[in-house]
Amino acid sequence: MEKIIDGEKLNIPEHVAIIMDGNGRWAKKRLMPRNFGHKAGAKTVEQICEDAHDLGIKYLTVYAFSTENWKRSVEEVTGIMNLLRNYLVDCIERASKNNMRVRIIGDRTALDKDIVEKIEELEEKTAYCDGLNFTIALNYGGRDEIRRAVTKIAEDTRSGKLLESNIDESLISSYLDTRNMPDPDLLIRTSGELRLSNYLIWQLAYTEFYFTDVLWPDFSIKDLEDAIRYFNGRDRRYGGVK
């Protein structure tokens, strides 16, 4: 899809993935506790969902909590989980208003029961929405996702549901949490870190990467447009020659 932004015709990526990083540093700069940054970051997510939809992005996938983030203090983890509880409830209302379909990826088994119930309700209530496909990665790790997929493939092979000869790349993709979603076209990481931190490691194989020093709570539509402009300057060859 194409869109005119600031007088320039731009190709809009179908799927944008974001590593929302820098909440802690944003709070620290203001001499506030880290959870103050997470709260501000949650507000930014709401705005960016609307902006992404307005720009014509079809899939937006954000990294909210990694399988490694449990290493943080109990206070911070509890704060993030409580913020998430509120966010999920608000999201049910907002999603139906914006016609947004919400999905959560990651390992739910480690989440509190009430959070899992809220997730199920949110997914069920937005299942028929055909606006923005918004996916939140929660207790998500790319290696953990592949581990869970491999376990399931092994089970299905043992039970005869699957033949070993059927195991190709698209079958593996279909066992991942992101089944039914195209791979991301553009990855954005905020806060100046140049690493993946275990995000969508299978799916990002041919994605274009955009890094910015902006801290996540300060990320705005202008920054999203800058990322899209950068994306438009890339030549995606997929291993071929152009």
177 counts as binding Mg ion under rule CB under 5 A:
no
Nearest C-alpha neighbor of 87 from the set 32, 33, 142, 138: 138
Give residues in contact with ligand IPE (CB under 6 A). 19-25, 63-66, 69, 80, 191, 193, 195, 197
Q: Is 69 a catalytic residue?
A: yes
The least distance separating ligand IPE from the CB of residue 71, rounded to whole angstroms, comes to: 9
Q: Is 98 a catalytic residue?
A: no
C-alpha–C-alpha distance, residues 173 and 201, integer Å:
12
Query: What single DSSP character describes residue 213?
Result: -
Residue 104 · residue 135 · CB < 8 Å? yes
Among 15-23, 57-65, 97-105, 108-116, the segment contacting Mg ion (CB under 5 A)? 15-23
Q: Which amino acid is at 51?
A: D
Handedness of CA 232, 173, 112, 98 (dihedral sign): positive
The least distance separating Mg ion from the CB of residue 214, rounded to whole angstroms, comes to: 13
The two three-digit tokens of residue 171, written as one number: 């079958």
From the list ligand IPE, Mg ion, none, partner contacted by residue 40 (C-beta under 5 to 8 A by kind): none
C-alpha–C-alpha distance, residues 117 and 122, integer Å:
9
Per-residue string for binding with Mg ion, 20-59, x by CB under 5 A?
Answer: -x--------------------------------------
From the list ligand IPE, Mg ion, none, partner contacted by residue 134 (C-beta under 5 to 8 A by kind): none
The residue among 118 and 189 lying less far from ligand IPE, judged by its C-beta, is 189
* Tokens 């390992």 sit on residue: 107
Set 11, 21, 99, 168: catalytic member: 21
Q: Which amino acid is at 220?
A: S
The least distance separating ligand IPE from the CB of residue 157, rounded to whole angstroms, comes to: 32
The least distance separating ligand IPE from the CB of residue 200, rounded to whole angstroms, comes to: 11
The two three-digit tokens of residue 67, written as one number: 């399988």
Nearest C-alpha neighbor of 36 from the set 76, 88, 86, 92: 76
Backbone angles phi, psi at 106, to 5 degrees: 125, 180
C-alpha–C-alpha distance, residues 232 and 13, integer Å:
9
The residue among 70 and 206 lying less far from ligand IPE, judged by its C-beta, is 70
The least distance separating ligand IPE from the CB of residue 41, rounded to whole angstroms, comes to: 6
Set 6, 11, 69, 144: catalytic member: 69
The residue among 182 and 192 lying less far from ligand IPE, judged by its C-beta, is 192
For the annotated catalytic residues, the residue numbers are 21, 69
